[in-house]
Chain A
């Protein structure tokens, strides 16, 4: 039972354009969501997070949107840069999950110069 899903295995974007990565979840107990960026053979790097009491959070070029009724979140990267090329994971947790992040399968983002 995959509780967090990233349905797009890959996304290709031109430099300077917007990248939109999507994530769906099924467990209504999730109340904290995170996005991580990962290069092969390295650990995930934290990008941005959002609590379920908000519907938007911004940090520089990164914005995360949360639609609780649709159980959907998205990560917007504007403008996209070639250095953003990596695998992006969304993850979710809830208050008593004690250190357990549930991850999606990841989306490979490629930004072309």
Chain B
């Protein structure tokens, strides 16, 4: 069974630009969560989508948004990029993201903002 895939793997942008990252979950998984990893803040939850609906959102500004498609693939978008947005962005999928459900992570997208 194929794992979680993320594209692109690496991205370089400049301040003020916007970026879209893509995630394809494990086949049969309907929940997709996004995380940001930085050296200072560790792994922080951005948001979660299930059946095309955002069910949960972390403490990030509105510049961070996402969506999920009917095939469970998900995208996240960051507008008006800031230097502090440089991070590893991770996507994770699970069957239902309810109690006792394990999340499996993709390899991540390394975003560098110059």
Contact = CB atoms under 8 A, between A and B. Distances in A.
Contact of A44 (B31, B47, B56, B90): B90
Interface string A72-113: 000000000000000001010111111111111110000000
A101 B103 contact: yes
Judged by DSSP, the binding face of B is strand
A44 B98 CA distance: 20
A43 B104 CA distance: 9
Interface in B61-114: 88, 90, 92, 94, 97-108, 110
B13 to A, nearest CB: 18
A43 B108 CA distance: 6
A97 B88 CA distance: 23
A98 B51 CA distance: 12
18 contacts: A31-B99, A32-B101, A34-B102, A41-B110, A42-B108, A43-B90, A43-B107, A45-B105, A46-B105, A96-B99, A97-B56, A98-B97, A99-B32, A99-B55, A99-B92, A99-B97, A101-B33, A101-B103
Question: Which 3 residue pairs are nearest across A and B when measured between Cβ atoms?
Answer: A99-B48, A95-B99, A43-B105
A98 B48 CA distance: 7
Q: State which size class the interface on A falls in.
A: 20 to 34
Nearest to B56: A98
A44 B74 CA distance: 19
Judged by DSSP, the binding face of A is loop
Contact of A99 (B42, B43, B56, B90): B56
A5 B33 CA distance: 21
Nearest to B100: A32
Nearest to A101: B103
Interface of A: 31-32, 34, 36, 41-46, 49, 51, 89, 91, 93-106
Nearest to A43: B105
Nearest to A94: B99
A64 to B, nearest CB: 13
B4 interface: yes
